[in-house]
Structure 1
Amino acid sequence: MEPSFHSIEWVFLGILVSIFLYALLTNAISKTILTLPIIFMVVGHVSSHPLGMLAEPEVLDVGKRLLAEVTLILVLFSDASRVQFKSLRMNFAVPLRMLIVGLPLTIGLGMIVALLLNPGAGFAMALLTAAVLTPTDAALGQTVLSSEDVPENLRQTINVESGLNDGLVLPFVLFGAILAATGIEGAQSHGLAFAATTQVVLGPLIGIALGWGFAKAMDVARSRGLMAEASGGVAFLTIAFSAYVTSELLGGNGFLAAFVAGMVFGNTYKHDIHFIGEFMEGVGQLLTMLAFLIFGALLLPLGLKHMTWNAVALAISFLTIVRMLPIWLSLTGSGLAAREKLFLGWFGPRGLASILFTLIMMDEFDFPGEEELLACVCMTVFLSIILHGISAAPLSKWIGSASQTPSKPIGESND
């Protein structure tokens, strides 16, 4: 029986109450094994039936796509804007190792595992699967990032890596989707390959131009007293979405443009960019809540419907060996203790980026094995939400107490 209008109203009221209670009890919740993703995934799953009956599947797909795009644009821009090139050169040797060495190794090992578990899927789907499951999510690691038990250098490393890897993995995701789509009979592979190359080249160029231009314009306005500091949040929205829309209009990839624009803006703008962090703590957190709620309500049931033992094995592999071995190898010779390498390897939770990439690629391209990909992503994110959520607090205390023992200096191997 379809839910009545009043029952749907009760569901929405329950969701609003859940959001309010989370805001009310944020500090108390942070001391438990519960996390924002766990709570809103459960809320979404509980309300999955009435929410799924709100509209036709096509209308719901449009809504999911819109939420995914808006959230991903803001996350890519804001994360990239907080990475300063000067600090990156001086202090970020460890996250750079993880990004430059660990990320490609993760994608490569992930492709091998995906092919071994499902050889019939082919190279392209293995690449796409590995790419969408490689980026990590700071939202799932918030307990670690805010814990005073975790040494500052480890928190900074996790924050920088999760902030940059979703943008860096975008070309791999795009090419994987393009190659998978060309595998369909009748697909125009030459046209798709040319379009992909154009997107990867034009997107960053447009991001550089707009990020630099907007930063210079805001500098002039602030220096002459023309711009109020409080309007920074509005400017942030304008820049992020302008980069995306302009790139899409000119044939580039809008997400790459938003990511690069954020990085250029953050390193060009001479005034404080705290307004971006303040905005994302409010509106950004609400979008994150809605994204995990939609995941629990509309994606997880669909993923579970197509679940196989191969998908479960792939999810476990990506959360353990596929993530942890490349990170360990990338940190060889870094001077970090074995426990710190294991800690950084384990806290590579999968969440928002994997969900959003999968939604957008499935909507943008037609490729075989979409149901299997969705099942793999859903199981990986589901297990990550649970396992990383419940292990964050105890492992943070463990690494804090273990780190009281002095480590060797950076550059002296602890292997």
Structure 2
Amino acid sequence: MPDPYILVLFLVGALIALVAWLPLVFRRAPLSLPIVCVGLGAVLFSLPQVGFDPLPQSHPEITERLTEFVVIIALMGAGLKIDRIFNLGRWGVTWRLLGVTMTLSIAAIALLGYGVLGLGVAGAILLAGSLAPTDPVLASDIQVGAPRQGREDEVRFGLTSEAGLNDGLAFPFVHLAIALALVASGEKGEWFAEWLTVNVLWETGAGLVVGWLIGWLFGWLTFTIPVSTRLAATRDGFIVLAATFISYSVTEMLHCYGFLAVFITALAFRHADRDHDFHIEMHDFIEQIERMAMMVVLVLFGGALASGLLAPLRPLDMAVACAIVLVVRPLAGMAGFIGWKAPLREKMILSFFGIRGVGSFYYLAYGLNAAPFEGGDRLWALVGLICLMSILLHGVTVTPVMRWFDRREGRDPDAGEGAAALAGRGASS
């Protein structure tokens, strides 16, 4: 048996190689990198030689921090690659997905959790807050392309912008669940005024403002100050990592929503000089970190599945999980598009691809670490099953569906990203 350290190096190297190579293999195949990572994790942690327990309940703090890191990296990448200038009218699809689709999803999941599964009010709301947002990490396969790539249709833009902004709506409900759980345990008395003024109004509003200010500051330092000292002259992708960490940490120190701030920072950073090539370099750098971090989380998720994460499930839980993935999001999505003048195919794709994943893991870990909830293992099993279903179902369907959609829109689905990027640069020059 090789030295465990040497074996770990080999496995990490093999996984990194797969992360770099598999996207090329799966560009036309009905398969995705997340599916492979989950499968590898399940196989790896099924080996008797592996003694590490990857269950999230066994490592609650590590689970929260690791998933938190992956999400903020994904949010920065999502914000940087949006070409569309922020405008209330032009972002109409986003407001429909957030204001109607996500709100209906939260209400429906909470009702299913409380009325069908028998979860307490706090547990049902935590489940709804964790599962309602579209995941910015695993939804990357259906998001817009790199900056100035020229592939920003309503479907890709809608899902990208929704994944970036939905934390501002999900987090208040997670905090609502925490407040109710603390009241039920006797650790908290009056809660509504604090929840409304702090968790809803202050943390959301201040997150937007702080995120914009930090994005403006980094944009000024990178593109506006004299050429010899501006950060763009470094051509160093680490700048975007600095912006991510500073935005998130400053916002969290002010007790605001860091996820929301990071996405707004990315939008403001991009707006500072929309056509600068340095945005492409920063996006490519942050995307590589995102894929590596995602790989780690999904391998551990596969290991958790192999270690019994889904053991607490009951037959009724499985039926509700299917309803959440196959009925709740699609119907809530179609309801959000009532009156929206767009082809039916766009509405159906936007409604179907409400992908659940790493963000849901974070919200659940955050909630369970902040307050005592009954049935924590069952909540983890429910979220794990729904995320697994989403990874498999959406991972298998995203490539053929989007290739079909591109053809119907008159685009060549086989056009290389490099050619598209060059075309975008030529159009903007």
- TM category (shorter chain) comes to 0.7 to 0.9
1:363 aligns with 2:363: no
Secondary structure at the counterpart of residue 307 of structure 1: coil
Question: Aligned residue for 1:257?
Answer: 261
Give, in angstroms, the shift of residue 263 of structure 1. 3.5
Secondary structure at the counterpart of residue 120 of structure 2: helix
Contact 2:122 2:177 in 1 (8 A): yes
Contact 1:233 1:276 in 2 (8 A): yes
Which shows bigger deviation, 92-101 or 39-48? 92-101
Give, in angstroms, the shift of residue 376 of structure 1. 1.1
Deviations 1:180-205 (A, max 9, x none): 33322334554974764654454444
Question: Aligned residue for 1:78?
Answer: 77
Contact 2:227 2:233 in 1 (8 A): no
Q: 1:186 to 1:57 in 2, by over 3 A?
A: same
Query: What letter matches 2:180 in structure 1?
Result: L
Query: What letter matches 1:102 in structure 2?
Result: T
Which shows bigger deviation, 368-377 or 358-367? 358-367
Counterpart selection for 2:318 from 307, 312, 318 = 312
Give, in angstroms, the shift of residue 36 of structure 1. 1.0
Trace 1:170-249 onto structure 2 (pairs within 5 A): 170-187=171-188, 190=191, 193=195, 196=199, 199-200=203-204, 202-221=206-225, 223=227, 225-249=229-253
Q: 1:109 to 1:352 in 2, by over 3 A?
A: same
Question: Aligned residue for 1:18?
Answer: 15
- Looking at structure 1, the residues matched to 169 and 143 of structure 2 have their Cα atoms a distance apart, in angstroms, of 21
Q: 1:219 to 1:399 in 2, by over 3 A?
A: closer
Which shows bigger deviation, 217-226 or 366-375? 217-226
Give, in angstroms, the shift of residue 17 of structure 1. 1.2
- Looking at structure 2, the residues matched to 82 and 24 of structure 1 have their Cα atoms a distance apart, in angstroms, of 22
Question: Aligned residue for 1:106?
Answer: 105
* Percent identical: 25
Secondary structure at the counterpart of residue 126 of structure 2: helix
Runs of 5+ unmatched residues, structure 2: 146-150, 411-429
Question: Aligned residue for 2:158?
Answer: 157
Runs of 5+ unmatched residues, structure 1: 405-415
Secondary structure at the counterpart of residue 166 of structure 2: helix
Which shows bigger deviation, 211-220 or 183-192? 183-192
Contact 2:100 2:336 in 1 (8 A): yes
Deviations 1:337-364 (A, max 9, x none): 3343222211112112112222233233
- What is the CA RMSD across the aligned residues, in angstroms? 3.4
- Looking at structure 1, the residues matched to 139 and 97 of structure 2 have their Cα atoms a distance apart, in angstroms, of 17
Contact 1:219 1:270 in 2 (8 A): no
- Looking at structure 1, the residues matched to 322 and 339 of structure 2 have their Cα atoms a distance apart, in angstroms, of 28
Contact 1:35 1:140 in 2 (8 A): no
Q: 1:19 to 1:308 in 2, by over 3 A?
A: farther
Contact 2:212 2:265 in 1 (8 A): yes
Trace 1:41-60 onto structure 2 (pairs within 5 A): 41-48=38-45, 53=52, 60=59
Q: 1:362 to 1:76 in 2, by over 3 A?
A: farther
- Between Structure 1 and Structure 2, how many residues are aligned? 399
Deviations 1:113-164 (A, max 9, x none): 2222223x233222221111112235544555589xx993323333333333
- Looking at structure 1, the residues matched to 125 and 55 of structure 2 have their Cα atoms a distance apart, in angstroms, of 32
- Looking at structure 2, the residues matched to 163 and 48 of structure 1 have their Cα atoms a distance apart, in angstroms, of 32
Query: What letter matches 2:360 in structure 1?
Result: S
Trace 1:81-100 onto structure 2 (pairs within 5 A): 81-83=80-82, 86=85, 88-89=87-88, 91-100=90-99
